[in-house]
Chains A and B, each alone.
Chain A
Amino acid sequence: GAVVSQHPSWVICKSGTSVKIECRSLDFQATTMFWYRQFPKQSLMLMATSNEGSKATYEQGVEKDKFLINHASLTLSTLTVTSAHPEDSSFYICSARLAGGRNTGELFFGEGSRLTVL
């Protein structure tokens, strides 16, 4: 399957600081990427859709000014958690959609990034 990579895998930061997480599609181009959040022992919740060259669209209840998304190229989307607080501590995971070809529509996920805010 296609490969999606996230960086960093884990990050610890102080309350009030900002943290940037990268999501890259390594062997395909993705015009659309998605960002999810997963709390311990819970399933994934969609946060936003990242569109290359345009503004991200956010799910209800997700603060767009707190979770800044930039999709500057066809292989990279970034999620910046601004002024992070302990309640933002979570596992953030991205997905990218394969467009075109025999397996078009398949969605591949990154390894996830665990954020701990002290």
Chain B
Amino acid sequence: SQELEQSPQSLIVQEGKNLTINCTSSKTLYGLYWYKQKYGEGLIFLMMLQKGGEEKSHEKITAKLDEKKQQSSLHITASQPSHAGIYLCGADISGNTGKLIFGQGTTLQVKP
């Protein structure tokens, strides 16, 4: 969706390196969701952010939502081959309805 830009489109990192994926909306985010998908499979829920300035972490993954609630980042520390996959940000811009628009995804490869 042009209303939601995700970058970079693809990323290749060496195992152990840190990386960041960004998601930017042209509209206020009522909720920002991060998922991981393997091609042709379902989405694995990572994190949901709703409040400006909110930050959540799970294992080596941290997600943040900026104060203006228009931009989010997903940061992976000390990447591992198991982190490889397609990362998708989904945005609820329709007033907390649960209807999401998605970014184009970031394909992450982690080289051992």
Interface size on A, residues (CB 8 A): 24
Is B101 in the interface zone, CB < 8 Å from A? Answer: yes
B11 to chain A, nearest CB (A): 16
Shortest Cβ distance from A111 into B: residue: B42
A-chain residues with CB within 8 Å of residue B41 when the two chains form the complex: 111-112
Is A78 in the interface zone, CB < 8 Å from B? Answer: no
Interface size on B, residues (CB 8 A): 23
B-chain residues with CB within 8 Å of residue A109 when the two chains form the complex: 35, 42-43, 45
> Measured between alpha carbons, how far is A49 from B97 in the docked complex, in Å?
10
B-chain residues with CB within 8 Å of residue A97 when the two chains form the complex: 98
**Contact, CB under 8 Å: A32 / B98:** yes
Q: Which residues of A are interface residues toward B (Cβ below 8 A)?
A: 1, 6, 32, 34, 42-46, 49, 91, 93, 95, 97, 103, 105-112, 114
CB<8 Å pairs between A and B, sample of 7:
A43-B103, A45-B102, A103-B48, A105-B48, A107-B90, A109-B43, A109-B45
Q: Which residues of B are interface residues toward A (Cβ below 8 A)?
A: 1, 31, 33, 35, 40-43, 45, 48, 50, 88, 90, 96-105
